Amino acid sequence: MFRSALTVLSQTSETKITNCSIGLEFVRWRRKPRWLPVAKSKVFRIPEKKPQTEDEKLELLRLHNHYKTQMRSMRMYLREESQRIRETSTADHLVETPEQEEQEFQRCVDLNKEWNAKIAGERNARLAKEYAERREFIKERLELAKEREEDRLQRIEEIVRKEKEAAKNFITRENIDAAIETALANPLDYNFSIDLRGNLYHGRTTVPGGSPDQKQPEPELLAAAN
């Protein structure tokens, strides 16, 4: 409470500082903070006890007696209540017979079994649901894997079929001589040129300026003609 009063007074002082002239200077703390030690000049000083008036003594005595009476009444009430609860619990315990205790124990066991059965049913239902969901998920994954495998096999078969078709034209040890004779008998010229009109002239012997199909004579023929 005293600390709160100091805080309020401090805030009031700060408010007054803002409202007053700038040249005024105030002390933030009206007394020394409680976390600082006693000053050396006041270590052995014995404060003078302030005299009390008769009215003040009577008022303090009245308040003290009132507090003591209330605390005594509260302690007595709590003591009697505790004693009553202890006697009641002891009497109830003594009234119970072994048969009643056995019945109470059996009732607790039956209730525990009922709770266990209920929880077991909920657990089994949850596990069955999770099992069905997991089975459906695995089934979908297997179907997707099967489809991917079928697609892969189809692509492999298509590649194998194309390679088999292309293998018919491969040059082997048996047909290498025939392939050489065919290549010599049918020479291929991969050269070509394009004019300004976009005409494409294949081969090195095509006549420049002529039609794309017109060929130049072979160099051997030109030499024989000359």
**Per-residue pLDDT tens for 91-126?**
555 556 788 888 999 999 999 999 999 999 999 999
Angle formed at CA 91 by CA 95 and CA 105, multiple of 5 degrees: 50
Residue 190 has φ and ψ, to the nearest 5°, of -95, 5
Contact 215, 206 (CB under 8 A): yes
Tell me how crowded residue 17 is: count the other CB atoms within 10 A of its CB: 14
pLDDT higher than 80, residue 73: yes
Q: Output the average pLDDT for the chain.
A: 80
Indicate the pLDDT class of residue 194, thresholds 50, 70 and 90: confident
Amino acid in the structure at residue 159: I
CA distance 71 to 38: 36
Helices (H), ranges, the chain? 2-19, 54-95, 98-167, 176-185, 219-225
Q: How far apart are CA 154 and CA 148, in angstroms?
A: 10
Report d(CA 49, CA 20) in Å as an integer: 38
pLDDT per position as a tens digit, 21-72: 455 555 565 678 888 898 888 888 888 888 889 999 999 999 999 999 999 9
Token couple for 127? 């596990």
Token representation of residue 116: 């266990």
